[in-house]
Chains A and B, each alone.
Chain A
Amino acid sequence: MKNKDKFIIAKKNYSSRLIVGTGKYKSMTECAKAIKISGADIVTVAVRRVNISDKNKPLLMDYINPKKITYLPNTAGCFSSDEALRTLRLAREIGGWKLVKLEVLGDKKTLFPDAIETLKSTEVLTKEGFKVMVYCNDDPLMAKRLENAGACAIMPLAAPIGSGLGIQNKINLKIIRNQTKLPVIVDAGIGQASDATQAMELGCDGVLINTAIAKAKRPYEMAEAMKYAVISGRKSFLSGRIDPNLFGSASTTNNGII
Chain B
Amino acid sequence: MKKKNKIKITVNGKQTIINSNFSLKNLVDKLEIPLNKIAIEYNREIIDKKKLKKILLSKNDKVEIVHFIGGG
Interface residues of A (CB under 8 A from B): 21-25, 28, 31, 44-50, 52-53, 55, 59-61, 71, 73-74, 76, 86, 89-95, 161-162, 208, 210-211
| Contact assessment for A50 and B70 in the assembled complex, using a CB-CB cutoff below 8 Å | no
Q: Which residues in B have their C-beta under 8 angstroms from that of A59? A: 34, 37, 67
Interface residues of B (CB under 8 A from A): 11-14, 16, 31-34, 36-41, 46-49, 64-72
Q: Which residues in B have their C-beta under 8 angstroms from that of A25? A: 70
| Contact assessment for A55 and B31 in the assembled complex, using a CB-CB cutoff below 8 Å | yes
A52-B65, A55-B32 as given contacts; A60 in contact with B46, CB under 8 Å: no
- A interface majority secondary structure: mixed
A48-B66, A90-B39 as given contacts; A74 in contact with B46, CB under 8 Å: no
Q: Which residues in B have their C-beta under 8 angstroms from that of A95? A: 36-37
| Contact assessment for A21 and B12 in the assembled complex, using a CB-CB cutoff below 8 Å | no
A93: which of B11, B32, B46 is its contact (CB, 8 Å)?
Answer: B46
Q: Which residues in B have their C-beta under 8 angstroms from that of A91? A: 39, 68
Q: Which residues in B have their C-beta under 8 angstroms from that of A161? A: 72
A50-B65, A90-B46, A93-B49 as given contacts; A210 in contact with B72, CB under 8 Å: yes
